[in-house]
Amino acid sequence: MMLKQALHRFTTSTRGRGLYDITGEIESWVNGQEIRAGLLTVFLRHTSASLVVQENADPDVLRDLDDFFTRVAPDDPSLYRHTVEGPDDMPSHIRAALTATQLSIPVDRGRLALGTWQGIYIFEHRTSPHRREVALHLLGE
Amino acid sequence: MMLKQALHRFTTSTRGRGLYDITGEIESWVNGQEIRAGLLTVFLRHTSASLVVQENADPDVLRDLDDFFTRVAPDDPSLYRHTVEGPDDMPSHIRAALTATQLSIPVDRGRLALGTWQGIYIFEHRTSPHRREVALHLLGE
Amino acid sequence: MMLKQALHRFTTSTRGRGLYDITGEIESWVNGQEIRAGLLTVFLRHTSASLVVQENADPDVLRDLDDFFTRVAPDDPSLYRHTVEGPDDMPSHIRAALTATQLSIPVDRGRLALGTWQGIYIFEHRTSPHRREVALHLLGE
């Protein structure tokens, strides 16, 4: 059988800082591609939001994670030169650098090879709502 | 020549917090696939352990790295909401978000294109021993 | 049409700690491969430098980012066991673990699917100039 590929893009609306589960949206696109084995790549087209794989069971994990990043990179303009886009913009770039812009996940027997407790999240770092665009690439057979 | 792919999974036992070299296990599987050029992807199916590429020469680097993460995300329950799985669980999720869940490495002339000092490690963040499952995807010819 | 792949390596000279834009060099190699759709992977063969996708508009973002990492992982030998390669070496390994060693980016209609403000940077963590080697893998059709 011959390897093939597919590309896709979708947009998610965020309601300010926090984690947004995009696992379902990604899985439903992958399911429609008739690829049983392969590799899925998720790429976020932004520098003030990012991607993380995190526990999908206790929502407190997501709140603690956000709090941690606020402690490490506070919205304190006295710490940064780049303040023209608001006190939360430079911290957002830092938080994006500390997490991920891209994830690749094997596809096995028609499913993403995620662990039982793994979800894929957009981590919105800006305090106001944003539209975030995700590019997907799927390779397989 | 036509591109092909292969999938594989293996499990590693950790003995608590620290870094565990999985380079040899990955290389030996890649060597058996008769792929001379391509791309290998390593995906860890957990949210309280992660992957890092680090120096494989001085073991002090690995100890300092672990100490750094303990300083940045202390096992202090007063800092977190999510404490039901023990004082080291939420710090583990933070440490995982700060490092990587997935790595892709080109394969060139039959070998992973790692630098001379680069090793691939599972970074166990929990203090007790765990079984950790790795999913591999190899593409190439 | 059949999927194909290409491998490439290039070297960049850094002038000490800071971010170095390699987007143009990567794009010009991709443009020469006659691949209109696919996936590009960038892998850095070092453990004291790393890769980040960051804003390419205001250079203050890059300076603030470097300052942040200097605050989080100071060049203070009293914090580390591994000091034989200089006070900036262990902080460099920490900074590399906190950012990325590898990035994969979809290629769509002949172009990298980067967002408008996204650039690909080598983040040099050592204070002295270094030669840094990048391995590229391109898959597509």
A19, A39, A139: best mutation site toward chain B, by most B Cβ within 10 Å?
Answer: A39
Half-sphere exposure of B114 (CA within 13 A, CB side): 21
| pLDDT band at residue A59 using 50, 70 and 90 as cut-offs | very high
Q: Does A98 touch chain C (CB under 8 A)?
A: yes
pLDDT at B127: 98
* Residue B20 in this model has a pLDDT that exceeds 90: yes
CA pair distance A22, A7, nearest whole angstrom: 17
Flag whether pLDDT at B103 surpasses 90. yes
| CA distances in angstroms from B111 to B27, B28, B39, B119, C119, listed in the order given | 8, 10, 10, 13, 29
**Residue-wise pLDDT tens digits, A92-123:** 999 999 999 999 999 999 999 999 999 999 99
pLDDT > 90? residue B32? yes
Q: So what's the pLDDT on residue B89?
A: 97
What pLDDT digit, counting tens, does each position of C114-130 carry? Answer: 999 999 999 999 999 99
CB distance from A82 to chain C under 8 Å? yes
Query: Rounded mean pLDDT of B99-114?
Result: 97
Higher pLDDT, A1 or A9: A9
Predicted ipTM beyond 0.90: yes
The CA-atom distances, in angstroms, between A14 and each of A20, A103, B72, B95, C114 are 7, 19, 28, 24, 20
- Compare CB distances from A7 to C64, C72, C108 and report the shortest one's residue: C108
B41 interfacial to chain A (CB closer than 8 Å): yes
Q: What pLDDT does B137 receive? A: 98
Assign C53 a pLDDT band (cuts: 50, 70, 90).
very high
* Contact assignment for A139 to B5 by CB distance below 8 Å: yes
Which three-class secondary structure state does DSSP give residue C78?
helix
Q: C23 falls in which pLDDT band (50, 70, 90)?
A: very high
* pLDDT tops 90 at residue C96: yes
- Please tell me the pTM assigned to this model: 0.98
